[in-house]
Amino acid sequence: MPLRSRVAVRNVRAIGIDPVAQGGVAREDEPWAWDESRWRRYVERVRAGRSLKPQAWPGGAEVAVAISFDSDHETIPLRNRETHPGKLSQGEYGARVAVPRILRLLDHHRVPASFFVPAVSALLHPGEIGTCVAAGHEIALHGWIHEWNATLDPDTERDLLMRSIDVIERLSGSRPVGIRTPSWDFSDHTLNLIREVHLTYDSSLMADDEPYELLADGAPTGILEIPVEWIRDDAPYLTMDRHTGTRPYTPPRELLRIWLDEFEQAYRERGLFQLTLHPHVIGHRSRIIVLEQLLEHIASISGVFFARHDQVAAYLVGLDSEATTRGSEMTGSEIAAS
């Protein structure tokens, strides 16, 4: 509780008013008053389990590169009840201008990518889904209308997830195997729902640089996490909102230095370089050049495995399954030949 709030509670108590009865917080509900079992329960609800970083990537590659785009388009203002044309037009730019520009760039460098698409975005722009699929890209789940999962009851979250699966499967022609929760907002029920609908992977959490298995209350789930990070996301650096203090303080080309450093370190560690981008953010003329130069640099280096998120997940799940049944880990070339 902020200092001002604590002072207010003391003041109302001094005049004989019960702050709990007036909507305050009882002392036993303050975090410092929790017993160990309570805070451990919160922490252990969803945790990182064993690392799934492989000893080798397919073809003996030194590093895996997984580029992704969250095609939010108009769904963020719609979620926030901002229904006037101005804010909605920013999202429309993502679908109308940015996605075609991004697809041309990916095609030029022959880079496969994953597009995480809210169902409402898919319904507003069904042609985009077909175009992405035809170009060889993955379409994965990203909520219904970019909702905040942590504000939903379990039944509502389940309903929106089921509806999203139906829309994405119908428009893309295949059932999605992965999810990225909107705004990476992972509720207490999200993992159970992911397991319930038999998804292969999630890409919303941040407990490692490398893929890992998710634990639920300490127990392995079989769900693979392809971790994200705000450092490897364009939105924190480049978002503009005229109604708040949110401003793009970072010059776009500074992102190239940050992401090159992330990639180079992943290469040295023989790990995964994962990147999260948004068409309506990165797709502008002065910003797409950053992605272009990043891909040019990565493509110039030997030993790079470009893959969609579902391909990374399939490789790691297959590797883990084979290692379990054979009692040893397979090399990337063995997996590729199987």
Report pLDDT digits (tens) over 27-86.
778 999 999 999 999 999 999 999 999 999 999 999 999 999 999 999 999 999 999 999
**Between vectors from CA 319 to CA 315 and to CA 233, what angle results, nearest 5°?**
40
Tell me which residue has tokens 């201008």.
97
Residue 227, SS3 per DSSP: coil
What confidence category does residue 252 fall into, taking pLDDT thresholds of 50, 70 and 90? very high
Q: Per-residue pLDDT tens for 120-175?
A: 999 999 999 999 999 999 999 999 999 999 999 999 999 999 999 999 999 999 99
Distance of alpha carbon 13 from alpha carbon 226, whole angstroms: 49
Residue 9's pLDDT is 44
Reading the block at residue 176, the tokens are 């999605």
pLDDT at 239 over 70: yes
Tell me 94's DSSP state: I
CB 187 within 8 A of CB 157: yes
Backbone angles phi, psi at 215, to 5 degrees: -105, 145
Sign of the CA dihedral with 181 first, then 324, 50, and 313 last:
negative
- Is 302 exposed, middle or buried, given 0-12, 13-18 or 19+ CB atoms closer than 10 A? exposed
Stretch 311-333: mean pLDDT: 70
SS3 219: strand
CA angle 102, 279, 315 (to 5 degrees): 70
Q: What's the average model confidence in pLDDT over 236-264?
A: 91
Kindly state the tokens that stand for 334: 């063995």
Question: Does the pLDDT at position 23 exceed 60?
Answer: no
Q: Environment class of residue 162 by beta-carbon count within 10 Å: exposed (0-12), middle (13-18) or buried (19+)?
A: middle
Are 211 and 233 within 8 A, CB to CB? no
> Would the pLDDT of 324 be above 80?
no
- φ/ψ of 246, rounded to 5, equals -70, 120
Structure tokens, 222: 């079989």
pLDDT at site 328: 42
Cα–Cα dist 317/214, whole Å: 13
In angstroms, the first-to-last Cα distance of the chain is: 57
Measured in degrees and rounded to the nearest 5, phi and psi for residue 42 equal: -65, -45
102-106 CB contacts, 8 Å cutoff, 24+ apart? 102/69, 102/279, 102/282, 102/283, 102/288, 102/291, 103/131, 103/132, 103/135, 103/137, 105/288, 105/291, 105/292, 105/295, 106/67, 106/135, 106/137
- Mean pLDDT for 306-314 is 98
Provide the mean pLDDT of the chain: 90
Cα angle 317-322-325, degrees, rounded to a multiple of 5: 125
State which amino acid sits at residue 10: R
pLDDT band at 240 (very low <50, low <70, confident <90, very high): confident
pLDDT, residue 336, reads 42
CB 133 within 8 A of CB 161: no
pLDDT for 177 beyond 60: yes
Least confident of 19-23, 53-57, 78-82, 276-280: 19-23
Q: Is the pLDDT of residue 338 over 70?
A: no
Predicted confidence (pLDDT) per residue in 94-132, tens digit: 999 999 999 999 999 999 999 999 999 999 999 999 999
Q: What phi, psi does 123 have (nearest 5°)?
A: -70, -35
Q: Express as a percent the part of the chain with pLDDT over 70.
A: 88
Domains of the chain: 47-337 (3.20.20.370)
Residue 333 has pLDDT above 50, yes or no: no
C-alpha–C-alpha distance, residues 177 and 310, integer Å: 7
Q: Which segment, 197-201, 241-245, 326-330, is predicted with the most confidence on average?
A: 197-201
pLDDT at 19 over 60: no
- pLDDT over 70 (residue 213): yes
Any idea which of 19-23, 178-182, 231-235, 247-251 has the lowest mean pLDDT? 19-23
Please tell me the distance from the alpha carbon of residue 28 to that of residue 194, in angstroms, as a whole number: 33
User: What are 190-205's pLDDT values in tens digits?
Assistant: 999 999 999 999 999 9
